[in-house]
Amino acid sequence: MFLNYSKNIQHNNQQNGFSMAFLLFAIVIISLLAAALIQLNAQSNLANAQQVISTRAFFAAESGAQLQALRIFPVSGGAGTCSNQSFNFSNNGLNGCTTTTTCTTITVNSENYYQVTSAGQCNAGQPLQATRTIEVRLKDL
């Protein structure tokens, strides 16, 4: 009976090294998976922020075109002006965005057409900036 006990002790001593190696391997694999998930999450957050900045730049360009249209066709009536303008926005949603508009007048068959090009730019730090450009054509009635 004593011999069997010593064989069991010898058998257990041979397996101790395997458990430690397996535990170390599992820790390394889990650490690599965690690092990959953290990197993926950071890239996703940056992409979402870039999308928001891009949308804000589009709305800034659209707002600039609408403001330029109001200068060409004033609500109060009368003669408007077609000239290049720059707008800086400070209201919520477009805070920190700027728009540069260009306006040209085209006359075809004694009818006036106005071509407005509006470039909106928003900046939220060096990697997060966007510029969107839209073009609108208006007809004088």
**CA–CA separation, 30 vs 24, rounded Å?**
10
Q: Which residue has the higher pLDDT, 27 or 77?
A: 27
Whether the CB-CB separation of 117 and 101 falls below 8 Å is answered with yes
Please give the model's pTM, rounded to 2 decimal places. Answer: 0.71
The single-letter code of the amino acid at 106 is: I
pLDDT of residue 94: 86
Task: Name the residue ranges covered by the structural domains of the chain.
Answer: 2-139
- φ, ψ at 5 (rounded to 5°): -65, -40
Query: How many other CB atoms are there within 10 angstroms of residue 56's CB atom?
Result: 23
Q: Which residue has the higher pLDDT, 1 or 115?
A: 115
* Tens digits of residue pLDDT in 30-79: 999 999 999 999 888 888 888 989 999 999 999 999 999 999 998 887 77
Mean pLDDT of 70-91: 87
Any idea of the CA torsion for 16, 18, 19, 22, to the nearest 10 degrees? 160
* Tens digits of residue pLDDT in 95-130: 889 999 999 998 888 888 999 999 999 987 667 889
Single out the residue of 64, 50, 51 nearest to residue 134, CA to CA.
Answer: 64
